[in-house]
Structure 1
Amino acid sequence: MRKVLYALLLGLVGAGIVHIVVLLLVPQFSERDAWSRLAMKSGLYTMTRIDDQTGGPPVVKSVDPLFFAASCRFDLADGIVRLRSPIDNLPFWSMSVYDRNGHNLYSYNDLSATEGRLNAIVLTPAQMIGVRKTLPEGLEGSVFIELPISEGITVVRGFVPDASWKQAVARFLDQASCEIVDFAS
């Protein structure tokens, strides 16, 4: 009887370990991750609304209905990436940078931005060395986000406290841009 209980306990522990490992590996093998779903909606360097306010199903499900969101995929091998929006009169906005696997690497919001404006530069450490030598014109006041990645996703969220803010937040996200910065200009 003791051997049977030992075998059952060992089997349950082994099954638990296998279950945990499988759950942790699912994102690595999933073909329907956020990167893939965004790739089906738009190309690199294109701000794409990911909330359910676009009329179709949301690209990525949001846990908070009080936020509208837009996202942009980028590849730093093509150059440094700039995110900005000309609108700055929202109750609150935030921006996050994720690696291709969905790990949050950097976040900031309107309270830590210059004049409350979305104006961020995402670049690698090697690209940052070049920027430090001669800051390209027009990048003054930008928030520099130096990350050791090549491909990533940015997500910009705008807070919608009530229905009267829906249009302003939608305009903020619709006018947001995600572009490669040209050093030659």
Structure 2
Amino acid sequence: MHRLLHAILVGLVGAGIVHIAVLLLVPQFSGQSAWARLAATSGPYTMTALKAETGGAPAVRSVDPLFAAAACRFDLADGMAHVKGPAGESAATLPFWSVSVYDGSGNNIYSFNDHAASKGRLDAVVLTPTQMNEVRKDLPEEYQGSVFIEAPITDGMLVVRAFIPDESWRPSVSRFLEQSSCEPRQP
């Protein structure tokens, strides 16, 4: 019985020490979020490649080596965020691409891929419900075929990922991500 009580006491003290250490380390890691690292490397409405070709550490590490990614931070208080892929058929000829919208805390708000896009082209508008009501009144010609992402947030991040099945696809995927744009627009 004495050994059992001793083991329980040691386990509780050890768990308490681990718990306190984790709580003390939270501020250390919270400043290294994807949002903070992206904010340190680029401004809002700038498509930033999530890779380390310049010799430094990537703004955000990609989990899957078969995907290349670029991200764009936006603030819907400035207006809608309009994300477009390069002109032409390059997006439609890629094997696969996807878009995810995250809030400032890193929660995924919305995701879609090339199969849900009009003719496989990257053309999306992120906007608030109020901005959506304004756009619905008179839809501009440039938004015909756009995917509308109504998000109840003020600031967020949009990540575009593209699949690289083998190295022969890397130039096409890189060109697609580099030529994609992210711009603020008024409703």
Which bracket does the TM-score occupy, shorter chain normalised?
0.7 to 0.9
Counterpart-to-counterpart distance in 1, 2:27 and 2:123: 31
Q: Structure 1: which 5+ runs fail to align?
A: none
**Residue 121 in structure 1 maps to residue 125 in structure 2:** yes
Judge conservation of contact 1:27–1:101 (CA < 8 Å) in 2: no
In the other structure, the counterpart of 1:32 is 32
In the other structure, the counterpart of 1:15 is 16
User: TM-score scaled by structure 2?
Assistant: 0.85
**Residue 171 in structure 1 maps to residue 170 in structure 2:** no
Q: Structure 1 residue 73: deviation in Å?
A: 0.3
User: TM-score scaled by structure 1?
Assistant: 0.86
**Residue 154 in structure 1 maps to residue 158 in structure 2:** yes
Q: Structure 1 residue 40: deviation in Å?
A: 1.3
Counterpart-to-counterpart distance in 1, 2:10 and 2:110: 43
Aligned residues: 182
Counterpart-to-counterpart distance in 2, 1:44 and 1:156: 15
Residue deviations 1:11-54 (CA, integer Å, cap 9, x gap):
3697399469849x938971121111111111000000012345
Report the residue type matching 2:60 in the other structure: V
Counterpart-to-counterpart distance in 1, 2:116 and 2:17: 44
Q: Structure 2: which 5+ runs fail to align?
A: none
Equivalent residue runs for 1:1-185 within 5 Å? 8=9, 11=12, 15=16, 18=19, 22=23, 26=26, 30-86=30-86, 87-88=90-91, 89-183=93-187
Report the residue type matching 1:71 in the other structure: A
* Structure 1 residues 106 and 5: alpha-carbon distance in aligned structure 2, compared to 1, 3 A threshold: same
Judge conservation of contact 1:110–1:116 (CA < 8 Å) in 2: yes
Counterpart-to-counterpart distance in 2, 1:122 and 1:20: 40
* Structure 1 residues 8 and 59: alpha-carbon distance in aligned structure 2, compared to 1, 3 A threshold: same
Counterpart-to-counterpart distance in 1, 2:151 and 2:28: 21
* Structure 1 residues 98 and 13: alpha-carbon distance in aligned structure 2, compared to 1, 3 A threshold: same
Q: Secondary structure at the match of 1:68?
A: strand
Counterpart-to-counterpart distance in 1, 2:55 and 2:7: 56
Q: Percent identity?
A: 55
Q: Structure 1 residue 177: deviation in Å?
A: 0.4
Report the residue type matching 2:77 in the other structure: A
Report the residue type matching 1:160 in the other structure: I
Report the residue type matching 1:82 in the other structure: H
Report the residue type matching 2:38 in the other structure: L
Counterpart-to-counterpart distance in 1, 2:15 and 2:75: 41
